[in-house]
Amino acid sequence: MKSAILFRAGWRVFFWAAGIWAVLSMGVWSIWLAVNAAGGDAGQLGLTMSPQMWHAHEMIFGFATAALGGFFLTAVPNWTGAKAAPEAFIAGVFAIWLAGRIAVALSGVLPPALTALFDLAFLPILGAKLLTQLLRRPKPQNMMFLLLLSLVWLGDLLVHLQWMGLTGTEAQGLRGGLLAICAMIATLGGRVTPAFTRNALLRAGREDRLPVTRGPLEKAGIALPILTSASVLFGLPDLVSGLLAVGAGLATAGRLAGWQGWVLRDQPIVWALHTGYGLLALGFLVWGLSLLGLGSEIGALHILGIGAVGGMTLAVMSRASLGHSGRALIAPRAVAIGYVLVPVAVLLRWLAASFPGFYDLGVLASAVLWIVAFGLYVMALSPVFFSPRADGKAEA
């Protein structure tokens, strides 16, 4: 059965689910926005939290965590030589992720503590499984991802504590969770982007333009994003978080400058990684400046959310899906169009936040482009998720 194939590997079900949820959740949000922009009253959608906060929560702790689940369930066995998670575990942990999405959507009728229980269960169970695999060949550079997953989970916990009426930490949790995922991207993207670029340059016979890495800059490009997220999650002053974020943006940009991405501008599956990483650098910098009193914080957060998280996950999920399914590493035309649409969506959302007269049109147009980008991804790669490997090899 094709549905059974979906649970053979973590990348299959979670990369598919991330794309589906990117489209569905943004679609609901767009309809709510459109009704209100037209002068109607779309209400609360049956939620206990505001629809704005539901949207933010589901992009960070729904969409992005699905992408992380697919990545780690696939990458960690390759890093350590551990046995991949069995189909039963993958199906079970996916069901837990899905239960979290349903619980948050039904928060208007569920007790807040039960909503929290369902939503907060996914990352600890995923992390426990990853720990058993990482311990097979423990390395600090890999074990650190458990810390980053814990920071993401802490952000979600802070959100639920306010939804349960115990604290006032909703905004802190959302920002901290987003920044923790961005720290994850800074670390993972800092590995895969130069590595994949190097491979592509070698295939193209461009040994003279291989990526360059610089030790101190690489360390700063990992440490500063992590410290930025931690500063928000632990409630440090905006001045501290802002300065850390500016430093993170400059370090990230410095790393990217040495990776020779412009040499492969004819290969979308490579330049999409560089574009996402560039938007990560820009997002850190602009968000840090906003905390120092320069520019719109909401606009900056959407550079990180749409451009860095959305752009990098789209690039990594599509590449990994093609590679692990035994297909050529050439982005389908529909997916390549999606790569282009995401930065345009970033620009429109930033303009909407920066120019109030453009708000409704800019937000809706940005949302539509996001939906189209991930809709094209789902349309183009669903046959990959539901089909055996093209080369006949065992699942990897």
- Domain boundaries defined on the chain: 2-385
pTM of the model: 0.96
Topology classification of domain 2-385:
Cytochrome C Oxidase; Chain A (1.20.210)
Is residue 288 a contact partner of residue 243, using CB atoms and an 8 Å limit?
Answer: yes
pLDDT score, position 396: 62
pLDDT higher than threshold 80 for residue 128: yes
Which residue type, as a one-letter code, is found at position 238?
D
Tokens at residue 17, please? 């689910």
> Higher confidence at residue 80 or residue 210?
80
Q: Cβ–Cβ contacts within 10 Å for residue 150, how many?
A: 15
Count the Cβ atoms, other than its own, within 10 Å of residue 80. 18
What confidence tier does 215 reach under pLDDT thresholds 50, 70, 90? confident
Please name the helix (run of DSSP H) or strand (run of DSSP E) that holds residue 123, with its range, or none: helix 122-134
The position carrying tokens 């789902």 is 378
Residue type, 179: L
The mean per-residue pLDDT over the stretch 368-394 comes to 92
pLDDT tens for each residue of 186-208: 999 999 999 999 988 888 787 77
Comparing C-alpha atoms, which of 378, 249, 234 is closest to residue 303?
249
Alpha-carbon distance of 367 to 345, in angstroms, equals 7
Q: Is the model's pLDDT at 152 over the cut of 90?
A: yes
- Find the DSSP H helices in 164-267: 170-203, 215-233, 238-257
* Average confidence (pLDDT) over 122-137: 96
